[in-house]
Chains A and B, each alone.
Chain A
């Protein structure tokens, strides 16, 4: 009696395992092209930390054009790097896509990327938006700017990130929490430009001028300005773009009532947060991977991207959407983006020390 049950349960367990492994190879990829993922014919496997619809629309477009299937695994950038690191030579990843130069550099330092060798890509993206040895190239960028209340602040009162620590902004500055990548990256860039000590002072100054403890996302900072909680906020341009196109009339009103100011135009330039793509160290579908990078950095791909996400394209030939054109030309921080990765840890520590929540 007893044996019978145990045998039955074991058989059931075995069946489940078989079903699941079966699903792994069948349900796993979009088309029934399962073997392709291992043999390298007609697929490219992307590990991506960018979760935007526009990215997936681009993958679809690429599939249509080339017949190469794009498979993706999503996750947080650091998790994906950790996974690639642990998988080592066996890794199925061909490409790694993420937001933030610091993380891209971390991926490179972790040894999960290899140099991208393609003249087309070099032609698409200017050298300053590529890693020195081409371990990654930038796909898009967002400017981290100062957003202000149109009715209470005039642009001539604003100048630099550094000036936000001024006494006159006491109780008027808004920013989100320091666990956010964009803030870490901004601070890392300031460390690169102004040094650690000065940047710590700056962070303390900003914290002293906060109108409230950091909370919410970037959009919430814009809302807080219009609600009268603060006058100026540090946030990314592309959220303002998204709010202007929101289905919620109230959000549109908010976006219309705030101004965008590109800081540090006379000095070091406005901070850019870049998204980039890298070729996995053990890529098994290298040719297809290069084709996808070429497509994503092409004029066509870049125009699709910028129209979908309101990020700035990295290919200078791509035409900007009207909204971005309206913001005009501006001076960008010219730093080695790889340095952001080096400084990111310092930035986190420094923000902790400054008690930036």
Chain B
């Protein structure tokens, strides 16, 4: 056991660490609350859960997550490599289009494709009515394990793509150009240089994908796949057993913490130290005519499937249902969605930066574990996390009851848990991982030397942060903010339960229809969500380009 000597503590303990310590503790409470579910004695339902659900459902979950991660890594990395290292027709458009699927919530995509490919869907209706073909239904059945992997992969691969591309664009040039100079075959360069070099970025993206899949309920429920999350909800909604549901979530959470530790441990010696000097961007090689056309075609197919086709289908449905669905309340919903997302993103990024900074200056197992725990919110189903958040806020409210009374708000009042604060807090806990990963990667990239130089030249930590580090990691902060924004705009289970009275967002509206199988009616709110995502992706691209120049 290694303990810090007192003198060292005094030296290391500064405002940053204290603030992030307090923040971490608060933010950890809901996750810890769920983990404590593991401690109690299992009740009489547990035997049934263990016998009929636990193992089977966990296996299905792993298959789904494993399959999706495999496909997204292959697709994401290859596309990232292709668009950074080569030039081919439509490259600029495609490198932008590959980010767009992030704007589409996977469960909306699942409903859209499920409906499109169904017997009455546009695809089969066209074949039947226009072409006169009768088709075998089996070929159109997307509602299966394979189908779910396809849906998740189409709409989650951008995580891997985006993070890997950002990394390759900025940091791989010298390695790759050396490899090229040394006459390496492009394929062998890809496997021997690009892959090992970008493994950190790939793992970062892949873990976001795995989290999304593991905590999903919408897609697997609609497709009839029994995942671990299904087990949690069957226990809660079918057997009315919240305690066992929390226990299952605790199990899921510890499984994921285990994966984290294993990943760290496996990669402990394989860290690549990148040159910190601003490396020149990679020079793109022109692909020949045939390979260029092939690359463009494959890229177009992926872009069509993962964005343009579902959006076109939703647009058709939106036209059908426009009269029934559209009303002035949508403006309010758009306002609500934007407001709560913007506030949550701003706070989230502040927390992410503080946490990343503290973790960097005060390297210890404690900060490592707590920064990982802070990211835990991303791994468990939102509905369960919402119970953790609710528990924390209700207990704060009860403790503050005296204060509320003194303020003249009335006795027995719930103030915090009836306000947006609870929802914003929940968003931060849930999506901190997204912001934190991006900022942490940014810090990794600049290394310690700028900060050290600044400190030696007399700036304090805070001044160093604002004057030296922040300008350097601005891009990373922006990436994190955009990704978090995209997530929050689409977020559903937390918003559903934790919002104040009458606070409708676009996502809750889309859910209202989709949950009642009125997928056509859900098209309008879904399209607005997608447009917001689209605008933020454009903004991000534009700022990125401006930043370069």
Residues on A facing B (Cβ under 8 Å): 1-2, 5-6, 9, 13, 16-17, 19-21, 23-25, 27-30, 37-39, 45, 51-53, 71-80, 82-83, 86-87, 89-92, 106, 176-179, 181, 184, 212-220, 223-224, 226-229, 239, 242, 246-248, 250-251, 253-254, 341, 344-345, 347-349, 352-353, 357
Chain B residues numbered 112-166 whose CB sits less than 8 Å from any CB in chain A: 114, 118-121, 125, 137, 141, 143-144
What's the Cα separation between A91 and B347 when bound, in Å? 28
Contact residues in B for A79 (Cβ distance below 8 Å): 383, 386-387, 496-497
B238 engages A344 (CB within 8 Å): yes
Q: Which residue of A25, A74, A86 contacts B496 across the interface (Cβ within 8 Å)?
A: A74
Residues on B facing A (Cβ under 8 Å): 15, 19, 45, 48, 52-53, 114, 118-121, 125, 137, 141, 143-144, 221-224, 226, 230, 233-234, 236-242, 320-321, 336, 339, 343, 346-347, 350, 383, 386-387, 390-391, 394, 397-398, 401, 409-410, 412-421, 424, 459-463, 466, 496-497, 499-503, 508, 511-512, 515-518, 520
B497 engages A83 (CB within 8 Å): yes
Cβ contacts A to B, 22 pairs, < 8 Å: A9-B350, A21-B421, A24-B419, A28-B418, A29-B501, A37-B501, A38-B410, A51-B511, A51-B516, A75-B497, A76-B496, A87-B414, A90-B413, A178-B234, A179-B233, A223-B118, A227-B118, A239-B517, A247-B321, A341-B240, A349-B52, A352-B53
B419 engages A357 (CB within 8 Å): no
Contact residues in B for A71 (Cβ distance below 8 Å): 501-502
A17 engages B461 (CB within 8 Å): no
Q: A16-B343, A179-B234, A352-B48 are in contact. Are A216 and B412 (CB under 8 A)?
A: no
Closest 4 CB pairs of A and B: A24-B419, A348-B238, A250-B120, A215-B224
Give the number of A-B contacts (CB < 8 Å): 209
A357 engages B224 (CB within 8 Å): yes
What's the Cα separation between A177 and B417 when bound, in Å? 35
- Chain A interface main SS type: helix
Contact residues in A for B461 (Cβ distance below 8 Å): 2
| B170 to A: closest C-beta gap in Å | 28
A214 engages B224 (CB within 8 Å): yes
Interface centre among B239, B409, B459 (most CB of A within 10 A): B239
What's the Cα separation between A13 and B424 when bound, in Å? 13
Query: Of all chain B residues, which has the CB nearest A12?
Result: B350
Q: A75-B497, A352-B53 are in contact. Are A20 and B420 (CB under 8 A)?
A: yes
Contact residues in A for B397 (Cβ distance below 8 Å): 90
B52 engages A353 (CB within 8 Å): yes
A357 engages B501 (CB within 8 Å): no
Q: Which residue of B119, B222, B223, B502 contacts A29 across the interface (Cβ within 8 Å)?
A: B502
Q: Which residue of A20, A229, A345 contacts B419 across the interface (Cβ within 8 Å)?
A: A20
What's the Cα separation between A218 and B391 when bound, in Å? 35
Q: A16-B347, A75-B497, A215-B144 are in contact. Are A51 and B424 (CB under 8 A)?
A: no
A248 engages B230 (CB within 8 Å): no
Contact residues in A for B137 (Cβ distance below 8 Å): 224, 227-229
What's the Cα separation between A80 and B391 when bound, in Å? 13
Q: Which residue of B52, B222, B416, B515 contacts A216 across the interface (Cβ within 8 Å)?
A: B222
A348 engages B517 (CB within 8 Å): no
Q: A20-B420, A37-B501, A72-B501 are in contact. Are A347 and B517 (CB under 8 A)?
A: no
Q: Which residue of A21, A29, A179, A212 contacts B221 across the interface (Cβ within 8 Å)?
A: A179
| B140 to A: closest C-beta gap in Å | 9
What's the Cα separation between A89 and B501 when bound, in Å? 18
